[in-house]
Structure 1
Amino acid sequence: MNPILALLKENNIEDAQIREIFQELTTNPLAAMATISQLGLPQEKLQILMAQVMQNPALIKDAVDELGLDYSKVEEAKEKLQK
């Protein structure tokens, strides 16, 4: 299992909420980061999660694929951020 998904699940984040977060990541990554920070994760877990997301963007693609979401939306969001 993807380490980001595993960390969220082991902290009792429901599957529906995880899907929402990754759906948001595919359309508005900055808003998704704000949502993640409001999940109530312990600070050390939140830091690990944020580090994984920032240092290894491929994990986002893996998680999006694992959840059956459309990764092309992530690419579109990245292009918008770069403009």
Structure 2
Amino acid sequence: MNPIIEMLKANNISDDKINDIFQVLTQNPLAAMATISELGIPQENIQVVLAKVMQNPALIKEAVNELGLDFSKVEAAKEQLQK
């Protein structure tokens, strides 16, 4: 299982909420971070996952694919952030 999804599940985040988070992530990564911070997950857990993502950005693509979402939307959102 993807470590991002695994961390969310370990913190009792429902599958529906996980899907919602990644839907937001594919549209607006900054909004996704705000959503994640509102879940009550201990900051140290979030930092561990962020460190993993920084070392291996493909983890986001793997999680999006695992959830059956469209990764091209993540790429489009990333391009918008760079403008």
Q: Give the TM-score, by structure 2 length.
A: 0.93
Q: Which residue of 1 aligns with 2:80?
A: 80
2:52 is paired with a residue whose SS is: helix
2:12 is paired with a residue whose SS is: coil
Shift of 1:55: 3.5
Aligned residues: 83
Q: Which residue of 2 aligns with 1:17?
A: 17
Q: Distance in 2 between matches of 1:52 and 1:77?
A: 21
Shift of 1:50: 2.5
Q: Give the TM-score, by structure 1 length.
A: 0.93
Residues 17/69 of structure 1: CA separation in 2 closer, same or farther (3 Å cut)? same
Any gaps of 5 or more consecutive residues in structure 2? none
Give the aligned residue type for 1:49: V
Give the aligned residue type for 2:34: A
| RMSD, aligned α-carbons | 1.0
Q: Which residue of 2 aligns with 1:28?
A: 28
Shift of 1:52: 2.7
Any gaps of 5 or more consecutive residues in structure 1? none
Deviates most, 46-55 or 29-38: 46-55
Alignment of 1:63-74 (within 5 A): 63-74=63-74
**Identity fraction in percent:** 71
Q: Distance in 2 between matches of 1:55 and 1:29?
A: 18
Q: Distance in 2 between matches of 1:56 and 1:43?
A: 20
Q: After TM superposition, where is structure 1 displaced by more than 6 Å over at least 4 residues in a row?
A: none
Q: Distance in 2 between matches of 1:24 and 1:52?
A: 20
